[in-house]
Each structure stands twice: as structure tokens, then as C-alpha cells.
Amino acid sequence: MLPCQGSDVGILDIFGKKDVSNELGKKVPFMIRTEFTPYHLKSRERSTVTLNLGVKNITGEPVLSSAVVELPRQLSFDSIGVSKQKEVRLGTMAKDEEKTASVDIFGGTGTDKGTYTLTITAFIHYRDYGHIINEVRKRVAVEAV
């Protein structure tokens, strides 16, 4: 027999699955760790740094996740200076699991001396990569000398 209207049991509980989307939407879902190799870009010439990105699931539940890195106009993900945004699909992450990814960031003749801010956004997805439950952002700086 199905539960009556006033019951605390949800439709997913009937099938043995727990609906955690409300809980996941309220907490900080990830811890983001970043590191650059080498530490900085060279200004006014073609140079590259590798962003080593670590994303740790701190929700307490397995989640489907991805991360998006966005660059200012002076930097790029390719040597010709066109690509300013990159998505890294991390897949399903277990509780307390950390996944890493590396992306190359290019500077060119239009990269002046100074500090450039990158935005990293990590997402929790529902069912597929088209549906988002929660996100966390981190801004990091890379310097051109």
C-alpha cells in the first residue's frame, strides 16, 4: 500500500532511494584546491602555466560533478588566444573523494605585467550535466612578470 498524503515518506523512499537534492542545495559541496606550475607567466611573450585543480566532495553523498574555469581576455586555453572557458567533467565522486585535473593556460604578446584573476566554478549535477543542484566558486590569481 502506498503512503497516505500526510506521510513523511517520499516517492523515492518507496523505491529505496533517498532524495538528497534539498540537502545538497543548502551546503557547500566542494573544497577546491589550486596550484600553478610554473608559478607565473612571462609578460609580453608566449608562455604557459599549468593549473592543477583538485576538487573534493564534502557533501557526504556521491555526486555527479564538473568544474568550469574562466579566464580574463588577456589569457587563453589555446595558443592562438581564442578559448576563454573550459569545462572539466569529473564524473561521479564518492563521499570525501578528490579528483584532479590539469589545464594549460597561455599568455601572449597582449599579456601585460600584472595579476590576472581566474574564476573556477565546481557544480553538482542531477541526472546529467545539463541539470545543476548547487555550485561553489573560487577566484585565484596568476601573475605575469
In the chain, domain spans: 14-144
Residue 71 has pLDDT above 90, yes or no: yes
Domain 14-144, CATH homologous superfamily name and number:
Immunoglobulins (2.60.40.10)
Is the separation of the CB atoms in 99 and 72 below 8 Å?
no
User: How far apart, in whole angstroms, are the C-alpha atoms of residue 53 and residue 37?
Assistant: 11
Residue 25 is predicted with a pLDDT of 72
Cα 120 to Cα 19, 34, 70, 71, 81: the distances in Å are 28, 9, 6, 9, 19
Residue 103 has pLDDT above 60, yes or no: yes
Its pTM stands at 0.83
Structure-block grid coordinates of residue 66: 564538473
